[in-house]
């Protein structure tokens, strides 16, 4: 076998690709992973210190079986590495009773018999005194919600993949790929590689790397904020994650303070970005953006009225219906694709890695992924 020939090539080693490389390697598959940047980089979507994990899924109850398996794999990843890649803090999904954040979460919890509590505004204030919901607001409380650490997760999967024998190349951009009757060919700035199968996890680079597939994906710039808390971060150190749907129909989310006394408290808008590309994204965060974030979040969390001690940008890769794309594309016999995670994908990283390993080695998976077929997005 040529030194440049593999069983499976994984393109993109962010959240999904790193997990795919690990799950493939642990099955004894000869894997090559290719990444444009360094390991656990901050140029795409798998960075920022924390990502919410939750099971009462307002986007669609169809996600819940995948989440239940993802939680098993999160625990396994922590056990196998000794690294706290996730933490269960409890979570509050707050807003008017009829809001998507509340009603959608309740629908998923009831359909899948997930443990949860419903709290009125007074009970929210009593149990969580950092929060000041409006009188008509309610919350679904989920004890099993919490957060994952994206950089630590990517590094953990990469380390485990390498331990299982995967070959990982960083700072090596993929220029082209092709499928053929004998397998796939991938061309980079350094050389050409062949394999029986290809797994493409391109993140925000999907529009260029997957242009031949016609999958409609829009890239959006998003901003993350770490605000200084009045009185210090101590009240936020043991704090639930939250998603809050306000009177402007905006969703705001936040985390406990996990970055030390000077690290501030992280918060952000969910889906309040502007269209960009990986090449045109503006990574400067402007004072007006910080002022707007502070104005909105202090309506629920009054103490977050201090300056921003840190900001960062990342990118969402949005499909038109905001559901994922996970598929073996029609007319491509040896290719598996995972993209369009639309700002809510990271909690699924471990199970998506397992799904992609199934698809690349067996051509199918027992996991329920029908919702993610890109043919749903084709208009006739």
Interhelix angle for 150-163 vs 15-25, to 10°?
20
Span 209-261, pLDDT tens digits: 999 999 999 999 999 999 999 999 999 999 999 999 999 999 999 999 999 99
Q: What are phi and psi of 90, to 5 degrees?
A: 85, 155
pLDDT at 21 over 50: yes
* pLDDT band at 1; cut points 50, 70, 90: very low
* pLDDT band at 186; cut points 50, 70, 90: very high
244 exposed, middle or buried (CB, 10 Å; 0-12, 13-18, 19+)?
A: buried
Q: Which of 373, 365, 363 is nearest to 339 (CA)?
A: 373
Pick the CATH number of 79-147+218-318 from 3.40.50.720, 3.40.50.1010, 3.30.9.10, 3.65.10.10: 3.30.9.10
- CA terminus-to-terminus distance, the chain: 45
> pLDDT at position 211, please?
95
Span 80-113, pLDDT tens digits: 999 999 999 999 999 999 999 999 999 999 999 9
- Structurally, at CATH architecture level, domain 6-46+151-216+321-376 sits in 3-Layer(bba) Sandwich (3.50)
Q: Which of 47, 118, 86, 90 is nearest to 266 (CA)?
A: 47
Question: Taking phi first (over 0 means left), then psi (-120 to 50 degrees means alpha), and beta for anything else, what does residue 369 get?
Answer: alpha
Question: Taking phi first (over 0 means left), then psi (-120 to 50 degrees means alpha), and beta for anything else, what does residue 223 get?
Answer: beta
Q: Does the global pTM surpass 0.95?
A: yes
Residue spans of alpha helices (H) in 238-330:
287-297
Q: Which of 52, 48, 41, 51 is nearest to 12 (CA)?
A: 41
Q: For the beta carbon of residue 197, count every other beta carbon within 10 angstroms.
A: 24
Q: For the beta carbon of residue 51, count every other beta carbon within 10 angstroms.
A: 24
Span 256-265, pLDDT tens digits: 999 999 999 9
> pLDDT at position 30, please?
98
Mean pLDDT of 365-379: 94
Q: Which of 277, 266, 268 is nearest to 221 (CA)?
A: 277
114 exposed, middle or buried (CB, 10 Å; 0-12, 13-18, 19+)?
A: buried
Q: Which of 121, 143, 138, 140 is nearest to 58 (CA)?
A: 140
Span 107-157, pLDDT tens digits: 999 999 999 999 999 999 999 999 999 999 999 999 999 999 999 999 999
Cα 295 vs. chain centroid, distance in angstroms?
Answer: 26
Query: What's the Cα-to-Cα distance from 151 to each of 174, 185, 257, 273, rounded to whole Å?
Result: 22, 29, 17, 22
- Mean pLDDT for the chain overall: 97
Q: Which of 331, 336, 376 is nearest to 353 (CA)?
A: 336
Length, in residues, of the chain = 380
Domain with CATH 3.50.50.60 in the chain: 6-46+151-216+321-376
Are 336 and 10 spatial neighbours (Cβ–Cβ below 8 Å)? no
Q: What are phi and psi of 76, to 5 degrees?
A: -65, -40
> pLDDT at position 380, please?
47
Write the DSSP assignment of 41-85 as a string of letters: -SSSSS-SS-EEE-SS-TT-GGGHHHHHHHHHHHHHHHHHH-S--
> pLDDT at position 2, please?
57
> pLDDT at position 5, please?
86
* pLDDT band at 3; cut points 50, 70, 90: low
> pLDDT at position 199, please?
98
Span 338-359, pLDDT tens digits: 999 999 999 999 999 999 999 9
Mean pLDDT of 43-49: 96
Domain with CATH 3.30.9.10 in the chain: 79-147+218-318
Helix (H, G, I), strand (E, B) or coil at 292: helix
């Amino acid at each position: 076998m040529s030194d440049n020939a593999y069983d499976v090539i994984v393109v993109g080693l962010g959240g999904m690709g790193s997990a795919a490389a690990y799950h493939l390697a642990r099955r004894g598959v000869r894997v090559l992973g290719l990444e444009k940047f360094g390991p656990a980089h901050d140029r795409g979507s798998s960075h920022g210190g924390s990502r919410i994990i939750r099971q009462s899924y307002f986007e669609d109850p169809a996600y819940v079986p995948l989440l239940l398996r993802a939680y098993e794999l999160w625990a396994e990843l922590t056990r196998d590495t000794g690294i706290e890649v996730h933490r269960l803090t409890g979570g509050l999904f707050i807003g008017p009773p009829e809001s998507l954040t509340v009603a959608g979460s309740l629908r998923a919890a009831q359909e899948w018999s997930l443990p949860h509590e419903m709290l009125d505004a007074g009970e929210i204030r009593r149990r969580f005194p950092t929060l000041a919901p409006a009188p008509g607001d309610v919350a679904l409380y989920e004890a099993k919600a919490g957060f994952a650490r994206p950089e630590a997760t990517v590094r953990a999967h990469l380390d485990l993949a390498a331990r299982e024998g995967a070959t990982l190349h960083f700072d090596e951009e993929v220029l082209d790929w092709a499928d053929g009757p004998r397998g796939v060919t991938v061309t980079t700035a350094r050389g050409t590689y062949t394999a029986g199968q290809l797994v493409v996890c391109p993140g925000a680079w999907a529009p260029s790397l997957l242009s031949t597939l016609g999958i409609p994906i829009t890239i959006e710039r998003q901003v993350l904020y770490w605000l200084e808390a009045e009185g210090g971060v101590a009240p936020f150190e043991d704090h639930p994650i939250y998603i809050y749907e306000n009177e402007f129909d905006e969703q705001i989310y936040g985390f406990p303070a996990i970055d030390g006394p000077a690290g501030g408290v992280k918060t952000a808008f969910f889906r309040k970005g502007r269209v960009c590309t990986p090449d045109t994204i503006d990574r400067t965060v402007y004072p007006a953006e910080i002022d707007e974030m502070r104005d909105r979040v202090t309506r629920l969390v009054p103490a977050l009225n201090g300056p921003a001690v840190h900001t960062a940008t990342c990118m969402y890769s949005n499909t038109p219906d905001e559901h994922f794309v996970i598929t073996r594309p029609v007319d491509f016999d040896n290719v598996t694709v995972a993209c369009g995670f639309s700002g809510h994908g990271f909690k699924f990283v471990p199970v998506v890695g397992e799904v992609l390993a199934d698809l690349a080695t067996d051509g199918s998976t027992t996991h329920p992924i029908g919702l993610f077929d890109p043919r749903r997005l084709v208009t006739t």
